[in-house]
Structures are given as C-alpha cells and as structure tokens.
Copies of this chain bind each other. A is one copy, B any other.
Amino acid sequence: MPKRVDHAERRTEIAEALVRVAGRRGLHAVGMRDVAAEAGVSLRLVQYYFETKEKLLLFGLRHLAERFGERVAARLRAAGDHPGPRAMIEALLMAALPTDEESRTFHHLYTSYAVLAVNDPTLAAQPFIKDPDAAEAALHGLLQQAQESDLLRPGVDSRTEAVGLLAMSAGLGTSILVGQRTPDSATAIFEYHLNRIFGPGPGISAGSASPLP
C-alpha cells in the first residue's frame, strides 16, 4: 500500500510501543512480538526496522532519555526565570520524580536499563554517564547563579549540593516507585533542603506538603 516510508519516524513509533508495553509489563517481560502487537505492525516489521532486539532496546533507551530530557526542559521553561533560580531548581528536581504515569514509566524503565548496563557495557556510555553529568552541570549552574546573586546561605558548596540533590531525587524516585513513599513526602523533603540552601522563601505550589505521613 504505502510507497516510501520515513524510517526514522517508523522507528520512533516502534520504540514508543516498546516503552509503552515495557512500562506496563516490565522490560524483562517484553519480547519482539509484544512490541509488534503494541505498535500494530507485524513481527517482521520490527525486525525490518531494527534488525536485532539489542538494537531495538538500545534505540528505546536513547529515545526514552531524549523524551525525558525534553520533558524536563519544558518544565524548566514553564518555570520561567521570573521567580528566580529557586523555582527552576524546584522544577528540575520535581520533574525527575515519578509523579504521573509518564515519569513513573521513565523511572521504571530507566532503572531497568541501568541494571542491564551493569553487565552490558554497550548500554552504558551515553544515557548513564553523559546525561546525568549534564543534569548535574545544569543544577550546578543554577546553584552557582543563585550564589552569585547572594541568594544562598553562606557555606553552601554548590557542586556538592547539586550532586547530593540529584542523588536524593533518584533515591526518592525509586522509593516512590516501589510504593514505600508518596510523591508528597518527597516534595516536602525537597522543600526542607531548598529552605536550608536558600533562605526561607515562598514554598512549592503543588501538593499538600504535610510534614511527613
């Protein structure tokens, strides 16, 4: 029926099918046939656009990381520069928490890939070193900017804080994912730490932010 097909677009569609079905049933339980069914194409086509499963998984990871990067960027843009760097930092940290379905899926799959990357060096480089480094640099930049504007309490090490906050975000994200903690409690913890780094200021908009449940 169709003549010439945009390969990149088709690969993206299939990769998103992979992300959907993996988010639903777990990455370990996803086969080529599941991806094909979810994408509404034949098994042969998945083979055609990604010759091997490994390549499909790799592309899926890159696509996932890219989509998530765009999401974070959009939230940062939405936060705007108006209320100052603190709002941007809040947006950055909150965007990484698994609150809605999309971020839940991201955390779930990203962690799955991270586990695979421990034994499969092919996966590692870009999404598990470079991307976190970039996030760290971004947060570090925001903190430095705030520091230069004299918004931070004295004695704050912007670099160490950046690393620590991102690690905290990752750890809290996992806790939320497995149901140990609620997004609201994570929000409250961030609020506490931002109050400690900045002076006391205007709070976070979302969530009830009760002390701790």
- Which chain A residues (78-125) contact chain B, with CB distance < 8 Å? 108, 111-112, 114-120, 124
A163-B212, A167-B168, A188-B160 known; A175+B118 contact, CB < 8 A: no
Whether B119 pairs with A178 at a CB distance below 8 angstroms is: no
User: With the chains together, A5 CA to B25 CA distance in Å?
Assistant: 39
Chain B residues with CB under 8 Å of A111's CB are: 111, 114-115, 174
In the complex, chain B residues whose CB is within 8 Å of the CB of A172? 163, 167, 171
Contacts of A112 on B, CB cut-off 8 Å? 115
Query: Shortest CB–CB separation between residue A61 and chain B, in angstroms?
Result: 12
Residue ID in chain B nearest A166 by CB atoms? B171
A169 neighbours in B (Cβ, 8 Å): 167, 171
Cα(A112)–Cα(B174), bound, Å: 12
Q: Are A28 and B28 in contact (CB under 8 A)?
A: yes
Answer yes or no: A66 CB below 8 A from chain B CBs.
no
SS class, residues of chain A in contact with chain B: helix
In the complex, the answer to whether A189 meets B163 with C-beta atoms within 8 Å is: yes
A114 touching B178, Cβ below 8 Å: yes
The number of chain A residues touching the other chain, given as a range, is 35 or more
A178, B26: Cβ atoms under 8 Å? no
- Residue numbers in B under 8 Å from A193 (CB-CB): 164
Q: With A167-B168, A167-B171 as given contacts, are A26 and B116 in contact (CB-CB < 8 Å)?
A: yes
Copies of this protein, total: 2
Q: How far is the CB of A147 from chain B (nearest CB, A)?
A: 15
Measured between alpha carbons, how far is A164 from B174 in the docked complex, in Å? 13
**How far is the CB of A193 from the nearest CB of chain B, in Å?**
6
- Asked if A18 is an interface residue, CB under 8 A from chain B, the answer is no
Binary per-residue interface labels of chain A (140-166) against chain B in the complex, 1 for a CB within 8 Å, 0 otherwise: 000000000000000101011001101
Min CB–CB distance A179 → chain B (angstroms): 6
CA distance in complex: A193, B156 (Å) = 10
Residues in B neighbouring A25, C-beta threshold 8 A: 119
Q: Which residues of the other chain, B, contact A155 by a CB distance below 8 angstroms?
A: 196
Contact: B124 with A179, CB < 8 Å?
Answer: yes
A8 within 8 A of B: no
